[in-house]
Amino acid sequence: MSGSWELLRFPIVNDRRGNLTFIEGSRNISFGISRVYYLYDVPGGSFRGGHAHKELEQVVIAVSGSFDVHLSDGRRSEVVSLNRSYYGLYLKNLVWRELRNFSSGACCLVLASHNYDESDYIRDYDTFVLEAHRERVG
């Protein structure tokens, strides 16, 4: 893990009827939740993401199935495999992410700190590396 991302483990309420996991904004995660979206029916072999965000923070959850999240903060890279619904991958701003290797039936739930705003996206990798460097050196 890195200062730019962190694997979170959420509470599980377990009883005979099954498991329940809950996430409260600003409690189980560091930000208030403004938006929820989810990816599903992802065809085998296709990938999602391929961008970073200037300000947005997110938590990515494999609520069913599995997929891999390829991460970079411009200096360090890591691949995090998500396959349990009680784990969430927290992504700070200025993290390049690519979601790959979706299993059949996978559902990727994303909790986001802000509403959708295309101007918050960095979709070009070289621009991202420059922005991340600029942020580090202040």
Nearer to ligand TYD, 51 or 100 (CB): 51
Residues 6+ apart with CB under 8 A from 18: none
Q: Nearest distance from residue 7's CB to ligand TYD, in Å? A: 20
Q: Which is nearer to ligand TYD, 17 or 102 (CB)?
A: 102
- Binding residues for ligand TYD, rule: CB under 6 A, are 35, 37, 39, 48-49, 51, 116
Work out how close the CB of 101 gets to ligand TYD at its nearest, in angstroms, rounded to a whole number.
14
Answer yes or no: 51 catalytic: yes
Catalytic residue among 51, 53, 70, 133: 51
**Helix/strand/coil (H, E, C) string of 84-109?**
CCCEEEEECCCCEEEEECCCCCCEEE
- Closer to ligand TYD by Cβ: residue 48 or 84: 48
Joined together, the tokens standing for residue 137 give 């050196």
Sign of the four-CA dihedral 89, 9, 100, 42: negative
Residues 6+ apart with CB under 8 A from 48: 39, 42, 98, 99, 108
Residues identified as active-site:
51
